[in-house]
Amino acid sequence: MTKTPTRFDMPLTTDVAWCPGCGNYMLQSAVKMALHELAVDRKNLVMVSGIGQAAKAPQYLNAHMFNGLHGRALPAALGIKLSNRNLVVVVESGDGDMYGEGGNHFIHAIRRNMDITVIVHNNMVYGLTKGQASPTSQRGMTTPVQVEGVMLEPFNPLAVALALNAPFIARAYAGDVEETKKLIMQAISFRGFSLVDVFQPCVVFNKVNTYQWFKENTVYLPESHDATDRAAAFGLATATGKLPLGVFFRSEGRELYEDLIGVGKTPLYKQKPPDEKAFQNLIDTYR
Amino acid sequence: MHHYLHDISMVFAGEAGQGLQTVTETLLRILHKSGYCVFSCTEYMSRIRGGCNTTEIRITDKKRGAYLERIDMLFALSPLAVEHLKSRIRSGTLLFAEKTQFAERWDEHYIDTPFRKFAVETGSPVYSNTVAAGIVSGIIGLPIERFTDYLGEQFAAKGEDTVSKNRIAAKLGYDFGRRTAADKAILLPSPAASGSSGRLLMDGNTALGIGAIASGCNFISSYPMSPGTGLLTFLAAKSKTFGIVVDQAEDEIAAINAGIGASYGGARAVVSTSGGGFDLMQEGVSLAGMLETPIVIHIGQRPGPATGLPTRTEQGDLNLALHAGHGDFARAILAPGTLEELIESMQHAFRLANRFQIPVFVLTDQFLLDAITTIERKYIKRLPFESSIIKTKAGYQRFAFTDDGLSPRGVPGYGDGLVRVDSDEHDESGLITESFEMRQSMVEKRLKRKKALSDAALMPTIIGSLSEASTVVIAWGSNRGVLEEALALIGNKKLAGLHFAQPYPLNPEIKPLLEKRKLVVMENNATGQFADLLSLHTGRTISHRIVKATGQPFSVEEVAEAIKALIE
């Protein structure tokens, strides 16, 4: 694994809690390199996450950080973005956090369409709690809880995001750091809600979806795929067979939530209470 | 002969959708502009049409903040109303109703009052409300011009036809009211000499919202739930004027997490809900405790558990606010009891949240939020603005250890430092740690502020004179008005009252106020939650608890009787 030094690296002494060989490392490299190459100003970058191993990602990236509660990365990111729209807000969390505990927020964050980027570490298993099924686990995988194999249909984040008309939807494979970096760069540069679902092997608890498995079962979208064609994207997101990687859908110009609800350019921390005249005018309406 | 020299209690009762709200608002405006002291509260069913709802209006010579059991005039817009209020109807109650509506339920003692007949004569049943307001104005003897002027202002936007039709309906009602007043020889107080100048009329929701705006609140994220929705609606209506970011959340969990996120970014954030919604928000309370991030949480209380009585009132969420969230951390709870206190409490909540970097609760209830009364403009206080936000330098540590446990608070994008916060136990820079020593230091840091927080706690308001009192009746939150009036009604020097607008933490200075006196706590819940808290924190025994959890607020008479029973 190559590791290019970036402005977002933490000190080498940082105690990283990820297992040796974890796909999180590769994804982390891709994120740092993307931010570095985009020349994002560290002072304006807030990394937001929920809970889980993937959610520790902001701990290992040198920027502002909000590591909140399980499933609640998106509401926190919403508040952060609305408090200061000059901030670049990148949410990074796992499949359990984003699609399980935070499923409702995932739906409504897309409906709002804030200018944030959501990167999901999708390893199809709950790692930190020792290997139970996640919403994206494939049917049949046995676990200490799903003893007869996963019975439920896996959550399809791309199809759900497409159904909700998310304006930027991509899928990556962390084993290919260079391509993952490029997709993340596009997502962060995109104006609006951007989702990058990233396949990322859990080397300890997912013995099905391994590095080898992802290599054999993924394929990059053909150059001919028209990313503005939502119906085609939906077809690709729901098709059986090899899982496509790349930008499924990209649609410019959808209105941002920040604009719709009239969030001004001035960060809220700079706002002062209303002056006495404005306040007295308010009071006057109750005479 | 009916003389109401100091105090009239009128009740309007009818089905949801019949326009009780309109009659009440019209009358309150006109009475207020005429210089009367008014108090109005409302009780309604959890339905959109039908059922039986009531609003009470009191016209008094003093400012009042409670309702009376006694009804002097009942305007029954549907037969159900009489059944609903039978325990409050006395021989002296004048009952206004339309005979054709009542059929076999008609009682010859009622005053046949043509609400609908006059409306139809005017052109449509929709004018019934105006007729009703006209009748009341006539009975009270307000100048008709005051009413017709008001209608002109109110309906100007709807065109000349609407204004003139309403004026016709008003006049028909008014003349009927004058004749009835003469017939029944009704005499009423004349308005206060001072008139209405300097006096404002508003409901509790408005006062709470004014307090939020005064404090510079600029972010609200909430999920609608009665009676917490009023603050969301109010701030949404004022959002453009005052630069408030308003987000209707997908659920309460999102609301509080968004509020904390916004506060991390430097917003002055509030969330508003009711007990059932707050159940969901608890994880956010412990997050705020861990992140040492200010958040103001308004809980408009209603009866629980679960969905309870959705539109009724109770003070049952004190324990919830007190114990919400796991782990040990500091918090404060405010519970205003008047319009003045609502305005002040909200500002105080933001100051405490910012100064101590903690979650702060404001507990209200349906009764207080929906009650409409007057407030002297000169008593509207604006507390000085305080901000705890600093410009960070490189190497900034969000959780730096200090003597008082409070770290200078930076926000992302302001200064050269990085603001790193984590819900896991963390070190001074916000990085995850499992060091036992660091854990211990962080727990101590988070709790160290409790002393200063207690010392800054609001002292209770003393009602009457404590020096002569052998029994002290204690209330918190919305029961201030009813306690004041009940004590005044009893008029016994051996009795005094204390009202707590801050139930937690308690100021250590309160101890002398409670010594050598019999303590009685009254509260609108089943077990006496504040009585327990007070006893636990002061070591004093509470002799009696006056509790009520029917879903209704206390009336003046029932509190007076309960207290009298204790001292006799």
Taking the Cβ of residue A280 and every Cβ of chain B, the question of whether any pair is shorter than 8 Å is answered with: no
A285 touching B, CB under 8 A? Answer: no
Nearest to B218 among A17, A76, A271 (CB): A271
* Contact between chains at B418 and A75 (C-beta distance less than 8 A): no
Sheet of A243-250, strands arranged across? A218-220, A243-250, A168-173, A194-199, A117-122, A88-94, A45-49, A64-67, B420-422
Of B242, B245, B432, the CB nearest to A263: B245
The percentage of residues in chain A with a pLDDT greater than 70, rounded to a whole number, is 99
Q: Cβ–Cβ of A267/B265 closer than 8 Å?
A: yes
Does position A6 have pLDDT exceeding 60, yes or no? yes
d(CA B298, CA A187): 37
The question of ipTM being above 0.90 is answered as yes
Residue reference for tokens 């008094």: B60
Tokens 């309370």 correspond to B285
CB A197 within 8 A of CB A158: yes
pLDDT for residue B207: 98
- Cβ within 8 Å, pair B247-A261: yes
Q: Which of B488, B497, B503, B489 is nearest to B517 (CA)?
A: B497
Q: Residue A129: count other Cβ atoms within 10 Å of its Cβ.
A: 14
| Residue closest to B132 by CA, chosen among B17, B9, B25 | B25
Of the candidates A222, A226, A220, which has an alpha carbon nearest to the alpha carbon of residue A243?
A220
Selecting from A268, A270, A278 the residue whose C-beta is nearest the C-beta of B262 gives A268
d(C-alpha B536, C-alpha B356), whole Å: 24
- The radius of gyration of chain A from alpha carbons, rounded to an integer in Å, stands at 20
Secondary structure (DSSP) of A45-82: EEEEE-SSSGGGGGGGSSSEEEE-STT-HHHHHHHHHH
Name which of A68, A82, A278 is nearest B219 (Cβ-Cβ): A82
Split at pLDDT 50, 70, 90, the class of A115 is very high
Amino acid (1-letter code) at residue A166: A
**For residues B422 and B466, is the Cβ–Cβ distance under 8 A?**
no
Q: Answer yes or no: do B196 and A72 touch at CB < 8 A.
A: no
Report the Cα A81 to chain-centroid distance in Å: 15
Tell whether A152 lies on the interface with B, counting CB pairs under 8 A: no
- pLDDT, tens digit, 9 for 90 and up, residues A220-233: 999 999 999 999 99
Q: Check B265 against A87: CB less than 8 A apart.
A: yes
Report chain A's mean pLDDT, rounded to a whole number: 96
pLDDT in 10s for each residue of chain B, 568 residues: 466 768 899 999 988 888 888 889 999 999 998 888 999 999 988 888 888 899 999 998 889 999 999 999 999 998 889 999 999 999 889 999 999 988 888 999 999 999 999 999 999 988 988 999 999 999 888 889 988 999 998 888 899 999 999 999 999 999 999 999 888 777 666 665 456 678 999 999 999 999 999 999 999 999 999 999 999 999 999 999 999 999 999 999 999 999 999 999 999 999 999 999 999 999 999 999 999 999 999 999 999 999 999 999 999 999 999 999 999 999 999 999 999 999 999 999 999 999 999 999 999 999 999 999 999 999 999 999 999 899 999 999 999 999 999 999 999 999 999 999 999 999 999 999 999 999 999 999 999 999 999 999 999 999 999 999 999 999 999 999 999 999 999 999 999 999 999 999 999 999 999 999 999 999 999 999 999 999 999 999 999 999 999 999 999 999 999 999 998 7
> Which residues does B20 contact at the CB level (< 8 Å), separation at least 6?
B12, B13, B14, B42, B53, B54, B55, B77
Report CB contact under 8 Å: B413, A44: yes
Tokens 């995850």 belong to B432
Distance from CA of A254 to the nearest CA of B (A): 19
* A64 interface with B at CB cutoff 8 Å: yes
CB contact (8 A) between residue B239 and residue A262: yes
Contacts of B344 in chain A (CB under 8 A): none
Number of A–B residue contacts, CB under 8 Å: 190
Q: Kind and range of the H or E element at B526?
A: none
| Nearest chain B alpha carbon to A68 | B423
How close B31 comes to chain A (CA, Å)?
12
Residue A158 scores a pLDDT above 70: yes
Classified as helix, coil or strand, B57 is strand
> CB-CB: which of B201, B246, B414 is closest to A261?
B246
pLDDT of residue A1: 46
Task: Please compute the mean of the pLDDT values over residues A55-70 and round it to a whole number.
Answer: 97
Residue B186: its pLDDT value, please? 72
What residue in B sits closest to A111 (Cα-Cα)?
A: B250
Q: Most B CBs within 10 Å: which of A269, A272, A281, A285, as the mutation test of the B interface?
A: A269
The letter for the amino acid at A105 is: H
Q: Burial level of A272, CB count in 10 A (0-12/13-18/19+)?
A: exposed
Q: Nearest C-alpha of chain B: how many angstroms from A214? A: 32
The verdict on a CB contact (< 8 Å) between A64 and B287 is: no
**The residue count for chain B:** 568
**How far is B227 from chain A, CA to nearest CA, in Å?**
21
- Partner residue facing B261 (CB), from A59, A76, A276: A76
Q: Which residue is associated with the tokens 């901000």?
A: B387
Residues from chain B contacting residue A128 (CB–CB below 8 Å): none
B264: its two tokens: 């991390």
pLDDT of residue B5: 67
Cα–Cα dist A173/A175, whole Å: 5
- Pairwise CA distance, residues B322 & B326, whole Å: 11
Instruction: Give pLDDT, residue B191.
Output: 63
Residue to test with chain A: of B235, B422, B434, most A Cβ within 10 A: B422
The answer to whether B76 and B14 are in contact (CB under 8 A) is: yes
Q: Return the closest-CA partner of residue B293 out of B420, B208, B181, B185.
A: B420
Confidence (pLDDT) at B3 = 61
Render the burial of B378-387: b for 16+ CB within 10 Å, e for the rest: eebebbeeee
Nearest Cα neighbor of A15 from A59, A62, A66, A53 is A59
**Strand (E) or helix (H) holding B231:** helix B229-237
Q: Which helix (H) or strand (E) holds B171?
A: helix B160-184
Residue A169 has pLDDT above 70, yes or no: yes
